[in-house]
Structures are given as structure tokens and as C-alpha cells.
Structure 1
Amino acid sequence: MVYNDISDETKLKIAKELNQPMVAFVSKGEDNESVYNIRYFTTGQEIPLCGHATVGTTYALYANQTTAGRIKQFNFTTKSGRKLTANVSDDSLVTLSMPSILSTRVHLNDRWTQTLIKTLGKDVDESVVHEVCKSSDFAIIVFKDSAKNRLLELKPDFDAMNKLERNGIKNGIVVTQRADYRSTGFHFYSRVFLPWVGLNEDLVCGHAHTQLTPYWTQRLAITGQTLVGKQCSRRPGIVRCRINGDSVDISGNAVYTLAHKKARMRHECDL
């Protein structure tokens, strides 16, 4: 929780000082005690939405309450006016409902698509790519099932990514691949690259899963079930996601590790 009058410049300075992939700032909304305004900052700039940070924020707000009469549902409004709802279960599992994002397939032989694939590194070409899809939020590059370990071994050229024509995409590039659910317990793997917003690789990205979930639900022909995705960053995370009408319900656990309270003091002196 932060004071309403902290400037955006100060928020960015705090994010740089904390040096985490994402920092969320929340302030009380005007409607009721369970409504909050939320904003997200990387070390480089503000971004419009971060599911992972919202899950952590929800649990922090939940854990900060007195035990008696705890609120378990929290509503957030982003800077752009997007509405988010999060619920905390009795076993502290946080489920965040976010608008789903549908993808449009793009041609593999398109010049932009070829350039996009090349940003993944010199060892990657279209021979390992099943298809490429995009929305206004993310480009999704889907690797073939036969391209084993290629997703884990990726060494993207972030300079090339930053120079890439964004083609109407705001956030970044997602690489994904089908997993063998029977042997791994996962339906798909992913990695998320966001150099355009000051974060080369996001450790776990809930926002990207709002586009991955409808894609894999359709591709795997799984309706009405929870999909389990593993984001294979250096600090991997497991995301449980399920289509719920026009939204995606994303579930995960959070841990409350540190609290800091800053007292505002007024100093006076005689000159």
C-alpha cells in the first residue's frame, strides 16, 4: 500500500531500488474497502498489466488483514481502466480473473515473421517453428513438438528484439511448446521476453497466460478443464489457468516475505 500522492517518478525510483522484475503499487479506491487502484513498474518504465504482480499484491493485502473477518475477494482497476478480480481460497491459493486474449495466426513466410524468429538466436530458424500468432499484447512463437530442449536452450538476441518492428504489439514475445502431460504433469511450456518494457525475460508472466490459455485450450481440444503451464525461466513457475467465459482464471501461490513501514516525519529547525 502506498500513499496516493507518490509521484510516478518516485514509483520508478522505488522499482529501480528494489530491482525486481515487477513492482506493483496499490492505493485504495473510492468505492469500498475491497477495491484498489493498481499500477505496475519494471526497473525501466510503467507497463499496463502484470498478472504475477497482481497475484502477489492480492496475497499481501489478504495477509495484512486481522484474522477475524478477512476479506477474500479483491477488485483492482488498472491505469487504463481494466477491471481485475482476485480471490483467495482457504488454503491461500490466489485465483486472478483476467480478460482473455485471442490470437491471430500470421504467415511463416512473411518478412516480419522471419525477422521475429531470428531474434531468438542464431541457432533458431523456421524449421523448429510450428506457427506464429499475435495479438496487440504479445507475439507467440510455437515450437514444434519435435524441437525438444530448444525452448530451454534459447539465447535470444535482445538487441535485435529491441530493433524489431513491433507490428502493433505492445508488450513482447512469448515462445511456447506442448508438453507431455502424462509424464510431466504440464500441458505446455513457455518463456516470455519483454525487452520492450525494460525486462529481458519475465520469470513468470500471468498476462502472457491470458493469451496462451485460449491458444492451448483450442489446440489441445480441452474444454472446461484447468491447464497447467510451466514457465521455464531461471526461476521457473507453474501457472494453473482455465477459460471462464470471456476471462481466464489464473491460479498460483504467493509467499509474504517482508514488510516495511515508513513513517512520515516533519522536521522543524530555527535558522
Structure 2
Amino acid sequence: MTATESTTEVQPAEQPVEAPVSLIPAALPLQPEDPPRVGEFWLRGRLGANAAGYLYTASDERGRNAVVALMTEGSADDASARDRFVIAVDGLPDDVVLAHNDEDDDDLALWAAFGPIRDDDGSSAAADERLLAERRGEDVLSAVLMDRVPQHGRRRGPDFRHYWEGRRRPGLFRIWPLPWPTALRPPSWAAIWFALATMLLISALALFLAWQLFKDSPPLDPPPVVPTPSGTVTVTVTPTTPPPNTESPTPGTTPNPTGTLPSPTETGPTNPGDKF
């Protein structure tokens, strides 16, 4: 009797599938009306916007990343909306509000920077910090817009709408020191140096062509008068003497070679009317 051995194939254990790391969503590029800088933060892109303000991703010179909330020109001109913005920012913990401008700046739009946010290293912690700062900015702008106020009673009548909701451009801002050239990136520096080199080349070419055109030109005759160091110029005038026994005739008379005065009949009519 023979025994048959059964062989079983051992399959390797399946590796656990790692969950994909949540990436920080990319911001939209800045528009021409967006400020390049507010306070000490350089704006990098748009994260969102509503009638109350804008959310930007930003960073400062020290490398701190933040989310900046900036009021629109319509909400910034409303005193009540400004008060709601200040109250909402003051209600947040001090360690999450990195910077903000003075509420007494009546001619400027209010803004606040929220963080801290670590650099985007592909980890979920960096994405969570970014989303949390963005959520804080949304809460502040929602407090200005009052779109999350709970409804009391039954809804009747038309919807409430702020009178300034149509003015959605970014509010007024002041930039000092000026953003150029601190905010320039390497491609911008390359473009500037290329433009300067081109202007210098064109200027040198223009000077060379002018020298080629005028190097063989004859000197001026008479030469130009060069003043003395005292500021005076000496000009020699050669007088011209009339020939002897000649007198310059008066207008309306013919010269008389004999030197005698002409008779009245030779000088023509004496009546002015007869000349025409």
C-alpha cells in the first residue's frame, strides 16, 4: 500500500493597503486685484471667497505658513460688519491668531492670519493644520456675513441680504515697504536681468552708430564760441566803411553820382496819394 503525500501551496500573506495620505488642496492663483502682501504675510493663492471676505494661503519672511482672512470692500465699509469681524477674531485662542491689523484703521480692510501651519511634507498632520486654519477663517467670515445664525420661529417674508454684498472686490490695503523686489521669484529675477542687459546692449549699439555717423564730419566754420572761465565771451566785430563821396540814399530817392541834391521834380510826386 502506497501513501500519497499531498502538497499544499502556501500563499504569502497579503500586505495591508495603506490609506492614501490626504494632500493639502492647492490654492487658486492670485488675481490682479488681490494684494500681494498684508502686514508681514505674503499671499500665495486664493482658498475661498464669499460676500464677507477672502481666504488666502500665505507665509511670512520667517517661514511661518498661515491662512489670511481679508474683508471685502463692501463689508469693510460697514461698521457693524467690522465689529463682527473683530469679535469673531477675539473669540479665538491667542495661539491660533498669528497676526491682525488694528481695528482703528478705518480706511483699511480688516484682516487676520490663522495658524500655525507646518510645511507641506505630504503628511496628514500638515493637511489637518491647514484645513483647521482654513475652517477658522471661514468661521470668522461667516460671523461677518451672519449666514449661520440659527433661525427662530417660522421663516416668513423675503431672505435677508446685506446692502454691501454686491461689492465683492478685496478691501483697501496698504503695502509698505513695497513688495518689489522682495517677492520676486527666480524666473522674475531672470526676466529683470535679461531686460537690463537688453537695454544696455541697445544703448551701446546706439552710441556706436552715432560715433560712426559723425566721426568724419568736417569741423564747424566758424568754430563754436567757447566762453572763458569768467563767463565772458569776446567777439571781434570788423566795421565796414562806405566808399568816399557816397551817401546812403534815403528811401524813395535815386542815387546822385554828382553829390548834388535832386530837384523836387526828380524825387517824384509829393502827394502820398499819387504813389498808389
**Length-normalised TM-score, structure 2:** 0.23
In proportion to residue count, which structure has more strand? Answer: 1
Q: Which has the larger radius of gyration?
A: 2
